[in-house]
A = this chain, B = another copy of it.
Amino acid sequence: MFKKILYPTDFSDVAMKAFDYVKQLKITGAEEVVILHVIDQRSVETIATHTEKDIITLERNWEESAREKIAPLAEELETIGYRVKIRIEEEVPFRDILKVEDKEDVSVIVMGSHGKSNVAEMLLGSVSEKIVRKAKKPVLIIKR
């Protein structure tokens, strides 16, 4: 049913709550988890403009920080028997999640209902709503 799980995370509380479900889904025969963190292209540009930092450094810091946060998650999943693939990519989050859904041919997407950028999401709709609308595979949305 859920052989290969795509778990997009922005490390928010609800994304961590979704992580618990990813772990528990092992019992369904799930074998592999793709942990995906998308560095929001638009945020990088905005921050760079406002802080006059250069984009390359920002991206490198963001990516390093993501790698550090993902490492213990990956280890935890491997301990319970999952194969784990880590993807850190720079894009618009919902677009990248849909791309990875295709490329990795996953069986299900498990994610939190809301990301960190709550205000933007209230205005524009959450990433998870877009995923529910446009994904091809089943989507398990974990709520706050």
Q: List chain A positions with a Cβ less than 8 A from chain B.
A: 1, 21, 24-25, 27-29, 113, 128-129, 132-133, 135-143
- The answer to whether A137 touches B132, judged by C-beta atoms less than 8 angstroms apart, is no
Decide yes or no: A139 and B141 within 8 Å by CB, A1-B21, A28-B27 being known contacts: yes
Specify the main secondary structure of chain A where it touches its partner.
mixed
- The answer to whether A141 touches B138, judged by C-beta atoms less than 8 angstroms apart, is yes
Return 25 A-B CB contacts under 8 Å, by A number.
A1-B21, A1-B24, A1-B25, A21-B138, A25-B28, A27-B27, A27-B28, A27-B29, A28-B28, A113-B132, A129-B129, A129-B132, A129-B133, A132-B132, A135-B143, A136-B143, A137-B143, A138-B140, A138-B141, A138-B142, A138-B143, A139-B141, A139-B143, A140-B141, A141-B141
Q: Which residues of B contact A142 (CB under 8 A)?
A: 138
CA distance A139 to B141 in the complex (A): 5
| Complex A-B, nearest 9 residue pairs according to Cβ-Cβ distance, in ascending order | A1-B24, A140-B140, A139-B141, A138-B142, A132-B132, A132-B141, A27-B28, A136-B143, A28-B28
CA distance A27 to B21 in the complex (A): 14
**Min CB distance, A13 to chain B, in Å?**
15
